[in-house]
Amino acid sequence: MLKEKIGEKEAQSLVEYVETKIEKEFDSKKDTLATKEDLANVRSDVIKWMFIFWVGQLAAMIAIAKLFFHS
């Protein structure tokens, strides 16, 4: 349809331009999704280590309380 209106060479150039823009946009979105996935993984690691830290702190407080009140 474009070929008839603007010519074959121009129509081909326009199609290639649009395809390039779409591909760049897709790659950009793909990079954004990868970044979000990385952040989600980091967040879950931080939560895991915070939990381990809290358990350690609780164990230390219980040990100190037992030593203090046992004597």
The residue ranking higher by pLDDT, 40 or 57, is 57
- The answer to whether 11 and 2 have CB atoms below 8 angstroms apart is yes
**What is the pLDDT of the chain when averaged over all its residues?**
88
- In terms of phi and psi (left: phi > 0; alpha: psi -120 to 50; beta: otherwise), the region of 58 is alpha
C-beta contacts of 23-27 below 8 A and 24+ residues apart: none
Please name the residue that has the structure tokens 């219980």.
62
- Give me the pLDDT at residue 71, please: 63
Neighbours of 66 (CB within 10 A): 10
* pLDDT higher than threshold 90 for residue 50: yes
**More confident of the two residues 38 and 56:** 56
**pLDDT score, position 38:** 87
% residues pLDDT > 70 (the chain) = 97
Q: CA-CA distance, 37 to 28, in Å (whole number)?
A: 14
What is residue 57's predicted lDDT score, i.e. its pLDDT? 96
